[in-house]
């Protein structure tokens, strides 16, 4: 994004696909940007293939999407090549194996500019995040923490606000750049090292 290339968004579908209407609003808002070559969209529906079918029924333009299904090795290869290569259009990812489905997001986020997600455990990942409306009440604190660290937004529970933030990112790439700067600061402070600390304590 900072180099003036299309902004890459990764939409991670969680909560058993309970936010279909919201996903539709976000994707439909992005479609003109994607068609103009200004944005790229990765959609990981996890193991919820019915969500992808539902989205295709509602958004005809998704018929042109490249679908990566039941191919974790292919997804890993795509994510690796996307780090330095150019990508365009919409790419959808699905895997009935829950491990592969979830871990695909871990791989894809490295090649993305902005992760769009509900404030789940992904709130604590070192990647720029746009927090959409939560599904469970307990998830609210994930967005609060991301906003405190500066690597994500607060929870945006109005689709209009979510789309406005996307427009902001499109027009001002420094929004993502600033989040990356906060990530580096948090990394230097050890904010993301919780798992390492847990293993160290367990090994004593």
Chain mean pLDDT for the chain: 94
Work out the widest C-alpha separation in the chain, in whole angstroms: 56
Of 137-146, 152-161, 172-181, where does mean pLDDT reach its minimum?
137-146
Q: Has residue 170 got a pLDDT over 80?
A: yes
- Three-class DSSP labels, 80-94: HHHCCCCCCCEEEEE
Q: Residue 18: which pLDDT band, with cuts at 50, 70 and 90?
A: low
pTM, whole model, 2 decimals?
0.94
Answer for the pair 26, 32: CB distance below 8 angstroms, yes or no.
no
List the beta bridge partners of residue 115. Answer: 10, 129
The per-residue pLDDT for range 62-104, each reduced to its tens digit, is 999 999 999 999 999 999 999 999 999 999 999 999 999 999 9
Q: What strands, in cross-sheet order, belong to the sheet with 114-117?
A: 66-69, 90-94, 39-44, 7-12, 114-117, 129-131
What pLDDT is stored for residue 116 in this prediction?
Answer: 97
């Amino acid at each position: 994004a900072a180099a003036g290339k299309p902004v890459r968004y990764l939409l991670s579908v969680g909560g058993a696909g309970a936010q279909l209407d919201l996903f539709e609003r976000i994707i439909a808002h992005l479609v003109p940007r994607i068609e103009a070559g200004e944005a790229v969209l990765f959609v990981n529906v996890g193991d919820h293939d019915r969500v992808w079918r539902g989205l295709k029924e509602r958004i005809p333009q998704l018929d042109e999407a490249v679908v990566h299904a039941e191919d974790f090795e292919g997804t890993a290869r795509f994510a690796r090549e996307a780090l330095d290569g150019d990508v365009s259009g919409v790419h959808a990812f699905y895997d009935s194996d829950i491990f592969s489905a979830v871990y695909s997001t871990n791989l894809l986020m490295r090649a993305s500019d902005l992760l769009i997600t509900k404030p789940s455990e992904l709130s604590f990942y070192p990647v720029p995040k746009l927090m959409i409306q939560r599904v469970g009440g307990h998830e609210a604190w994930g967005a609060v923490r991301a906003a405190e660290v500066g690597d994500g937004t607060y929870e945006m529970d109005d689709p209009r606000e979510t789309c406005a933030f996307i427009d902001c990112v499109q027009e001002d790439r420094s929004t993502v750049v600033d989040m990356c700067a906060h990530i580096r600061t948090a990394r230097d402070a050890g904010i993301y090292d919780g798992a390492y600390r847990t293993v160290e304590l367990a090994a004593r």
